[in-house]
Amino acid sequence: MGLIVIFAFIILVSSVVIRAKILKRQGIKAILFGSMDHKDFLIPPFVLFYFYGVIAFTFGFPMVGNQLWDVTIISYIGLLLVLLAPMLFIWGLISFGASFRVGVDDKHAGELVTSGAFAISRNPLYVAFFMMLCGVFMVFPTWIFFVYMLAGFWLIDRQVCREENVLRELYGKEYETYCVRVRRYL
């Protein structure tokens, strides 16, 4: 199961890198991480430790946290979430088109995307991250992944709220109408 989780992470990261490179060739700067809040640069070390945790539990390397339970069906449900997350993420990237950014670009905003994956969630990429966090915790049920899941939920929700404020300013009534029609997450 751990190898599948690692593979899913590779797909997520690769899809962002590939999409950013495609947009860069079109003259669009897609990676704007940390432009809204410079404290965002504190996140990567924690993400790297999270990835190490997945690798450590997969290959038996030293890691903090003991398994909280051993229920096979929960692990398989988690694995299903881990497998579905990259699919939703890639659908979201495709739906985003040239408007995709890591961070908010309030100076060169693309058009408001409301179709494809964005017709069922205003934040399908973040929903994919939620699915990944839950799935990893269910596959590796330790207190460290539980803490990461809770912290991840908080950080993602914090980012979504910040982005929504900018989107309201950029798109006004069009965004408000979209918010009434489509839920923030699911």
DSSP conformational letter for 120: T
Among candidate residues 83, 186, 183, 79, the one with its CA nearest the CA of residue 127: 186
What integer pLDDT is reported at residue 37 of this predicted model?
A: 64
Amino acid at 102: V
pLDDT band at 99, cuts 50/70/90? confident
For the four alpha carbons of 156, 17, 79 and 53, in that order, the dihedral sign comes to: negative
What integer pLDDT is reported at residue 13 of this predicted model?
A: 93
Q: How far apart are CA 93 and CA 170, in angstroms?
A: 21
Q: Residues of 124-146 as b/e, b for ≥16 C-beta within 10 angstroms?
A: bbbbbbbbbbbbbbbbbbbebbe
What integer pLDDT is reported at residue 34 of this predicted model?
A: 64
Among candidate residues 32, 158, 157, 41, the one with its CA nearest the CA of residue 106: 32
Percentage above 90 pLDDT, the chain: 70
Looking at per-residue pLDDT, the higher value among 140 and 43 belongs to 140
Q: How far apart are CA 174 and CA 134, in angstroms?
A: 33
Q: What is the pLDDT of residues 86-96, one digit of tens each?
A: 999 999 999 99
pTM exceeds 0.75, yes or no: yes
CATH number belonging to domain 2-181: 1.20.120
Q: How far apart are CA 105 and CA 102, in angstroms?
A: 9
What integer pLDDT is reported at residue 95 of this predicted model?
A: 97
What integer pLDDT is reported at residue 98 of this predicted model?
A: 84
Average pLDDT over residues 76-87: 98
Q: What is the DSSP string of 82-109?
A: HHHHHHHHHHHHHHHGGG--BS--SSS-
Tell me which of 4-8, 99-103, 167-171 is least confident: 99-103
Q: How far apart are CA 36 and CA 43, in angstroms?
A: 14
Q: What is the pLDDT of residues 109-158, one digit of tens each?
A: 778 999 999 999 999 999 999 999 999 999 999 999 999 999 999 999 99
Average pLDDT over residues 53-73: 90
What are the two backbone dihedrals, phi and then psi, of residue 102, each rounded to the nearest 5 degrees?
Answer: -95, 100
The mean pLDDT value of the chain amounts to 91
What integer pLDDT is reported at residue 38 of this predicted model?
A: 66
Q: What is the DSSP string of 21-62?
A: HHHHHTT---B-TTSS-GGGGGHHHHHHHHHHHHHHHHHT--
Q: Is the separation of the CB atoms in 89 and 12 below 8 Å?
A: yes
Q: Residue ranges per domain, the chain? A: 2-181
What integer pLDDT is reported at residue 42 of this predicted model?
A: 72
Is the pLDDT at 40 greater than 80? The verdict is: no
Amino acid at 115: S
